[in-house]
Chains A and B, each alone.
Chain A
């Protein structure tokens, strides 16, 4: 079981896949595709945890994998999907900067993470690569949050950050206690639901989901 995981670099491929989905968020301009990319990212995350669970053989990692898949891979995307449908938003997201530039900036972010974590890092083995990638995902999620105009893409940026944080915690500790994981997950779910209602309300009140319009005082 462990042989083929090491022989085919499965962990490397999945973690690079997580990084790639985060980077490709910068090039996506349709809201539906944004949700799909986030779903893929979460599913890859849960797959990574499941693979590590088969290597280490700890039961609570399997549980964490299943919870991640159900919560982040199915529940949150379904809710986001519903918001996108409800808001009847146009397909295009109008970012502040062009796709090419934001792709390049996210590439630079990855380079910065790699350059700053080259030495003095205390995790070893595959966890080192995963830790670097998780920090890159956090930074890219932050960048998506500050570079997009629409409320819904900013929510997705926040979710990417959370995925990165989860990955960082996982690579450092091989799974946090179940209580914390469950707590974070429910926190996230509630946060997304509240943010989603906010996005819908903003759309109703201002006839636009553009957060720039919020600077105009009403009545």
Chain B
């Protein structure tokens, strides 16, 4: 029963994307599409025919499955509503980062595989951003891991604290920047546009259509929800069930989890509505700043002890 908590991420991740779009539209004074629009899009894409260029190799055809399955595997080892589940032994933060790395590696290869200019551009940009984002993600997670005494996500979540101290606030803000960069949101990448000068994530998906595109998009939504879940697991894990999961425990934990996800969606929509897209060559300034922030959080934790 507890092993099936990843189904929450599988099912609700497109709705999360719809919610962010809805919040964003409301903040900008528009009505916006309904929150189920992403489901309709996925269903439509799954029904459509695929156009696959005949110069592509097996990498192009294997990548959607690899990306989808590795994201699914990552969502199995993350505690969503309970911290007591069969995969606890492997729910390590470092393993998780590498599973994301596998998906990203194949996505970048597939972007290059079709041989179009935009695909290669998207891949090279994605890799540039990834090099800057990964260390700061790891450092900000380490701040929480040191205070919990373990890099195991379930152990970090089980300490049942609202981590409230200067170092954790710094680590959380650095982690939010990392989440923005990883999910391709506005100061880093624009998720709504296919303008060739700005796109990073969309550039790599440009050659995909039909079922493959649906899998890639769905994997992207899942990764987004997964990153939000990791953020709330690490930085405010209150309300997560530590023992066996009963009906009341499930209801309470699921309710709190929904609230936390709504908060994360609202935060993302707020950042997207109030910030402008940065030029690509200014990104190292933002990401480097966030890296220094995460390094400072670790230093301050070590020196102050809280």
Interface residues of A (CB under 8 A from B): 8-9, 12-13, 16, 19-20, 23-24, 27, 98-100, 103-104, 106-107, 110-111, 114, 118, 129, 132
Contact = CB atoms under 8 A, between A and B. Distances in A.
Contact of A103 (B164, B169, B292): B292
Contacts of B299: 110-111, 114
A12 B306 contact: yes
Interface in B253-306: 284-285, 288-289, 291-292, 295-296, 299-300, 302-304, 306
Contacts of B170: 16, 20
B165 interface: yes
Given A12-B304, A99-B285, A129-B303, A107 B164 contact: no
Contact of A12 (B166, B285, B295, B302): B166
B166 A16 contact: yes
A107 B285 contact: no
B292 A129 contact: no
A99 B285 CA distance: 6
Given A104-B292, A107-B296, A114 B166 contact: no
A214 to B, nearest CB: 29
Interface of B: 164-167, 169-170, 284-285, 288-289, 291-292, 295-296, 299-300, 302-304, 306
Contacts of A20: 170, 296
Nearest to A107: B292
B296 A9 contact: no
Contact of A9 (B164, B288, B291, B295): B164
A110 B296 contact: yes
B293 to A, nearest CB: 8
Contacts of A16: 166-167, 170, 300
**Shortest 7 CB-CB contacts between residues of A and residues of B:** A100-B288, A16-B166, A107-B292, A103-B292, A12-B166, A99-B285, A114-B303
Main secondary structure of the interface of B (DSSP, over half): helix
A19 B296 contact: yes
A27 B166 contact: no
A9 B166 contact: yes
B302 A114 contact: yes
Contacts of A104: 288, 291-292
A9 B162 CA distance: 14
A13 B292 contact: no
Given A8-B164, A12-B166, A107 B304 contact: no
Nearest to B303: A114
Given A16-B170, A27-B289, A110-B296, A100 B164 contact: no
A23 B304 contact: no
B295 A107 contact: yes
Given A24-B289, A110-B296, A110-B299, 14 more contacts: A13-B169, A16-B166, A16-B170, A16-B300, A20-B170, A20-B296, A99-B285, A103-B289, A104-B291, A111-B295, A114-B299, A114-B302, A129-B303, A129-B304
Contacts of A19: 296
A106 B299 CA distance: 13
A132 B303 contact: yes
Contacts of A99: 285, 288-289
Contacts of B288: 99-100, 103-104
A110 B301 CA distance: 13
A37 to B, nearest CB: 13
Interface centre among A27, A98, A107, A132 (most CB of B within 10 A): A107
Nearest to A129: B304
Name, among A23, A100, A110, the residue most crowded by chain B CB atoms within 10 Å (CB to CB).
Answer: A100
Contacts of B296: 19-20, 23, 107, 110
A173 B252 CA distance: 51
A27 B300 contact: no
A114 B170 CA distance: 17
A204 B41 CA distance: 63
B296 to A, nearest CB: 6
A45 to B, nearest CB: 16
Contacts of A118: 303
B304 to A, nearest CB: 5
A27 B285 contact: yes
A23 B292 contact: yes
